[in-house]
Structure 1
Amino acid sequence: MNSIDLVSMGIKNLFRRKARTILTVLGVIVGAASIIIMLSLGIGMNKSFEEQLKSFGSLNTIDVRSNSGGYYGDEKDPSGGKVGKLDDAAVKEIEKIDGVDVVMPMSESYIQIYSGKYVTDVNLIGIDASKLEKFDFNVEKGRLIDKNGKYEILFGSSISKQFYNPRSRNRYSNQIEVDILSSKLSAVLEPSYSSDGKKPKGIRVKGVGVLKQGNNEKDWSAYIDINQLEKLKQEAKRKSKNTSDRNKKKSADKYSQFKVRILDVKKVADIQEKIKKMGYQAYSLADGLEYMKKATAGLRATLGGIGAVSLFVAAIGITNTMVMSIYERTKEIGVMKVIGAELRDIKRLFLFEAGMIGFFGGLFGVLISYLVSFVLNSIGISLMGFAAEGSQSNLSVIPIWLSVSSVFFSTIVGVLAGYYPANRAMKLSALEAIRGE
């Protein structure tokens, strides 16, 4: 019996008992759809949490700080007590690690920015202006700072709304918004008024851009090229001998921290561990994502298990259908053997029929799953308050690999469920099968 004859005969046998075939396929549909929907809920939770983390920053970025203040990551310090310095040599050393795209050193200073009689307190961060685009610095207004631009400052989205009158008693409750791109600004590195109440003499700076809102530290910080920051400090020292202690070096580190961009997010954890062993503290948003995956692993396994029970019940239904088919087709099997059909052809015929039930059950199960997922994402989100306003998160996410895997798995389940009936049919005695009714 060739393959074409086998397929033709198998399909005819399935359609000959339409009601039983449809009911058996329906059981597989329920089982396959249950697994897909349950797993899609777990995937949806992970995707939602990942999107929330991305709103706080990039998952490809590692923050590196000095280990001199003690290690606060794991219970055991992987550096063995080693303390690395945040200097130019460290930048080159980290850049040599396989998978590292770029390292950006940063230096922080606490200053005040004046616009006329109004002032705001700012954490001014010195960075390499040539590396801004690598670290997702996107402007809402204006432009990015230039490496050679004198005292150009890039402001976070929230800073313009934090200006206040320092002479007001309720200064922080009467904040106003200032157009920091068109206003004349001056920076003061001594964040306080002089004893006679006069405004301190500042250094003229220029606001050139405002960053897009990102729900992270960038919203509340201002950025300047790191070389321009050093020049600003030197000019402030020449104008005043009473520079605030908050701007003085408190360690041997040249920089306050590093930002390390990784090419592949999958390598973040390994590279982070290597940096820790070099004597630094290293943190990334990927830590939170990994923690979330571990925390929800049990829940996802439970959801998948519930769906698997449904598919197991469907597999029993397939076995039952094929066994009943053997009893009804006993004489047919006997005739096939008498006219010379090989035992393996009989076995292949029953396995094919069982596999087709599993295949079509899985295929229609996928279609039903997409429909249920659409309903959950359209209606369930608003009813359950799952997504925040403006969020693109979905309650149920069905990736392509899950759909393909479900159809394949359902087919395999069908074949396995038909294995026992196929063996039973193959072992039937030809003479007894012909005599039996």
Structure 2
Amino acid sequence: MRLEYAKYALKNIRHRKLRTWLTLIGIFIGIAAVAALISLGQGMQNAINEEFSKAGADRITIQPAGGFGGMYVSEKLYQSDIDVVNRVKTVDFATGAIIKTGRVKYKEETVSLSIFGIEPDEETRRFIEKVDFFLVEEGRQFKSIDNNVAILGYNTANEKFDRKIRLGEKITVENKDFKVIGIQKKSGSPMHDNMIRITTSQAQELFNLKETKEVSMIFARVKSGMDPTIVAEDVKSALRKDHNVKEGEEDFVVATAQQMIEGFNNILLIVQVVLVGIAAISLVVGGIGITNTMYTSVVERTREIGIMKAVGATNNDIISIFLMESAMLGFFGGILGIAIGLSVSKAVEILAVSAGVTVLKAYFGYELVAGALIFSMVVGIISGVLPAKSAAKMNPVDALRSML
């Protein structure tokens, strides 16, 4: 019996092709928007999680309170803070980094890029070589005796200027010349692929930090076998004591890789929910469109309903037929919407990659497709409830009388 209902509903949908297509527009636009936003949001979340995992689970990051890297905040970190962190018994090693934006000139071109100053000593080199972001593809890492040398991010060397920068060539950073000794592997991180790495002493000189010994961030590695969360609390306690601040009044932020992942995921989730909520408004409009179409169909098929009731069709039979029809409208709209939405998200990913943004990725999962399809069918069914009940309530005598 259900199969007969489905065949009958499909026949009615195919019979009114123009109306069907106009009805589907509202549904597939809404589903397409929702599918595209969820696909991109989940893809970005996966990409960010992957980037943090590259940094290592045994890493802890310390930065000034109120902003990233201390570039736009009043709170500061200094060399003395690195010394404090290194004295924490559960910390294996800590080093600082200076992160600023500077003017970089190559040949006759000048662009603004991130300048990353880091210590050139052996221990720091071993520390960063375990992080995928800093792997060198051409040339070498810093040595302790290096001076006026630079290591370029992949995009900096290959895409930021009209000509590719080669090993041994000269670039000018903030009016000071540097020799290129290394080019990093492409990491997929916009920050690291578009940076220039120099030594801490050179960064201090360029940005007038020699006297203050200011650093933008501190990176620490926990001792083998230690829980990073516990070590992070040890670091907080040591810095609170050194800064003479109470718990909850810290002028710094200490975070493990897992905590940073969770923080970004929470932000992405909020943004995603808001955007999907806005996109879902079009689904409401699409649902109203299905309701309107089904009411029109009920009026047009009054005689048909009367005949079905006259030959024994029950109210439940009539309701089932119309709900099947509205569910099919939702189903077909969902299929179109999913196809369009995922195509749009893939196109956005391709455009983002071409622009050097690799964290914006499309995600294709069975649960996304199934969820969107079920949701569109539910919208269709809900939209068809009132018209279906209206059809079922028809008096067969009155319906047949309309034939006269």
Q: Report the TM-score, using the length of structure 2 for normalisation.
A: 0.57
Q: Does 1:397 align with 2:371?
A: no
Q: 1:130-279 residue pairs with structure 2 within 5 A? A: 161-163=141-143, 172-173=147-148, 257-260=222-225, 272=229, 276=233
Distance 1:381 1:412, change over 3 A: same
Which is greater in Rg?
A: 1
The question of whether the paired residues in 1 share the 8 Å contact of 2:120 and 2:144 is answered with no
The aligned residue for residue 302 of structure 2 is: 330
Query: C-alpha deviations, 1:153-173, integer Å up to 9, x for none?
Result: xxx8699543365xxxxx623
Distance 1:300 1:260, change over 3 A: farther
The question of whether the paired residues in 2 share the 8 Å contact of 1:64 and 1:259 is answered with no
The aligned residue for residue 420 of structure 1 is: 386
* C-alpha distance in 1 between matches for 2:231 and 2:120: 36
Instruction: List alignment gaps of at least 5 residues for structure 1.
Output: 66-84, 91-104, 110-119, 140-155, 166-170, 177-211, 221-255, 263-270
The aligned residue for residue 299 of structure 1 is: 271
Q: Does 1:351 align with 2:335?
A: no
Query: C-alpha deviations, 1:216-264, integer Å up to 9, x for none?
Result: xxx99xxxxxxxxxxxxxxxxxxxxxxxxxxxxxxxxxxx9424588xx
SS in 1 for 2:223: strand
User: What letter matches 2:229 in structure 1?
Assistant: Q
* C-alpha distance in 2 between matches for 1:122 and 1:430: 92
SS in 2 for 1:418: helix
How far apart are residue 419 of structure 1 and its match?
A: 0.5
The question of whether the paired residues in 2 share the 8 Å contact of 1:31 and 1:308 is answered with yes
* C-alpha distance in 2 between matches for 1:419 and 1:175: 69
The aligned residue for residue 342 of structure 1 is: 314
How far apart are residue 46 of structure 1 and its match?
A: 2.4
Instruction: List alignment gaps of at least 5 residues for structure 2.
Output: 63-86, 96-118, 152-184, 199-220, 239-253
The question of whether the paired residues in 2 share the 8 Å contact of 1:351 and 1:418 is answered with yes
The question of whether the paired residues in 1 share the 8 Å contact of 2:60 and 2:232 is answered with no
How far apart are residue 40 of structure 1 and its match?
A: 2.6
How far apart are residue 123 of structure 1 and its match?
A: 5.2
The question of whether the paired residues in 2 share the 8 Å contact of 1:28 and 1:314 is answered with yes
Distance 1:289 1:304, change over 3 A: same
The aligned residue for residue 33 of structure 1 is: 32
* C-alpha distance in 1 between matches for 2:45 and 2:259: 13
Distance 1:430 1:137, change over 3 A: same
The aligned residue for residue 217 of structure 2 is: none
* C-alpha distance in 2 between matches for 1:402 and 1:175: 45
User: What letter matches 2:39 in structure 1?
Assistant: S
* C-alpha distance in 1 between matches for 2:351 and 2:136: 34
How far apart are residue 293 of structure 1 and its match?
A: 2.5
The question of whether the paired residues in 2 share the 8 Å contact of 1:164 and 1:174 is answered with no
* C-alpha distance in 2 between matches for 1:380 and 1:86: 42
The aligned residue for residue 261 of structure 2 is: 289
The aligned residue for residue 41 of structure 2 is: 42
Query: C-alpha deviations, 1:173-225, integer Å up to 9, x for none?
Result: 3799xxxxxxxxxxxxxxxxxxxxxxxxxxxxxxxxxxx9987xxx99xxxxx
* C-alpha distance in 1 between matches for 2:186 and 2:51: 14
* C-alpha distance in 1 between matches for 2:306 and 2:120: 92
